[in-house]
Every structure is written in C-alpha cells, then in structure tokens.
Amino acid sequence: MSMPLVFATHNQNKATEIQALVGSSFVIKTLTDIGCNEDIPETGNSFFENAQLKSEYVWRKYGLACFADDSGLVVPSLNGAPGIHSARYAGNQRSDKANIALLLSNMQNQANREAAFVTVISLQLPNEHVFFEGKLEGHLIQTERGENGFGYDPVFVPKGMNQTLAELTLAEKNAISHRAKAFTQLAQYLTQLGNP
C-alpha cells in the first residue's frame, strides 16, 4: 500500500519529478489534488519557517503527511537579501526582469559579489518533522547572460563554472542545483522509510 504524501504546490510538473525520485512507496499529491485552493501564508522570517508553515498547515487541516519547500537567493553583501523575498524583491508583480534590475542596482558598489541559491524542505510526517537543505554557491555578474532558466539565473555563475545558470541546459542545471540537492536528500530519506 502506497502512502499518500502531499507536496505543498499546485505545480503538477514539480510533483511528477518528485514522484520519479521517490518511487512507488509514496503517491505524491499536489494541493490541487487534495482540494486545497487557499494561499497558505508564508509569514516566516526564514526559508525554514516558511517551509514549515506550509507543511504544518496541510498536516493540521487535512491530516495528510506533507512536504513543502522554500527557496531564494542569498547575497551576503546585501545582508542576505533578497532571501525569502526573492520572488517579490522588486514588488508584488513577481517580475524576473524587475528583480534582476533591482539586484544589479543594489550590487553596483559591492566588491564582494558572492551569492548562493538555497532551498529548504520541511517534511511533516505523522510522528516526525524533518528539514533538508540544498545550497548552490557562486557569484553575481554585472549583466545578464543566457536564455534558459528563470529568476536570477541569468546573473548567477555557479562556483567553478564560467557559464550562468541561464546558459546551462535544464539537465545541466538540475545536476547541480540547490533544489536538486535538497530534493535528492528528501527522496533518499523517503526511500529508506518506504523500504525499512
């Protein structure tokens, strides 16, 4: 018997990817699948808190095991900004172009251009609560390069590489990304649970 496990997203493509990673011990369902159409508030002050708020919300309201993720770009020279506000850095319209423009403007006089993409996953099971974290370190360049990806990918060059994330193929990006690292840890954990 496969255990249902909710991924706190409405994105079916993301859920399908995770299903492929975790195998048949769990049936991954989206918020849409369980009839959850409300916006779960992300009022935390960290990736950990926001991910936990979402996974606990589903557990409390629907009684279903759930995992949720929160991700963003952390820039030490900007005191960790954009951080949890990465998607809405330049305002609520969630425009990648506007977010990048504001980021590059704020970085103009910064000598330290280090940055990292971070993903945190909160897994809420009946008897336990576990976090997983993935990180991709690199630096920010001054002008956009590349057509692939989304968000801040055109100005982020991963450590040890010369290309931006937006110049990599999806497969190349997924092989190194913060999200892939976190979800691989989650998948390994779930696989062990499903095969005691």
pLDDT number for residue 146: 97
Tell the burial category of 127 from Cβ atoms under 10 Å away from its Cβ (0-12, 13-18, 19+): exposed
pLDDT number for residue 21: 78
Contact 146, 163 (CB under 8 A): yes
CATH code, 3-194: 3.90.950.10
Task: Write out the chain in H/E/C secondary structure.
Answer: CCEEEEECCCCHHHHHHHHHHHHHHEEEEECCCCCCCCCCCCCCCCHHHHHHHHHHHHHHHHCCCEEEEEEEEECHHHCCCEHHHHHHCCCCCCCHHHHHHHHHHHCCCCCCCEEEEEEEEEEECCCCEEEEEEEEEEEECCCCCCCCCCCCHHHEEECCCCCCHHHCCHHHHHHHCHHHHHHHHHHHHHHHHHCC
| pTM for the model | 0.91
Task: Give the pLDDT of the chain (196 residues) as one tens digit per residue.
Answer: 577 899 999 988 888 888 887 778 789 999 999 999 988 888 999 999 999 999 999 999 999 999 999 999 999 999 999 999 999 999 987 789 999 999 999 999 999 999 999 999 999 998 899 999 999 999 999 999 999 988 999 999 999 999 999 999 988 998 899 988 999 999 899 888 876 5
Would you call 70 a catalytic residue per the annotation?
yes
Cis before residue 82, ω within 30 degrees of 0? yes
pLDDT number for residue 41: 84
| Vertex 161: Cα angle to 88 and 102 (nearest 5) | 25
From 33, 70, 96, 153, active-site residue: 70
pLDDT number for residue 196: 58
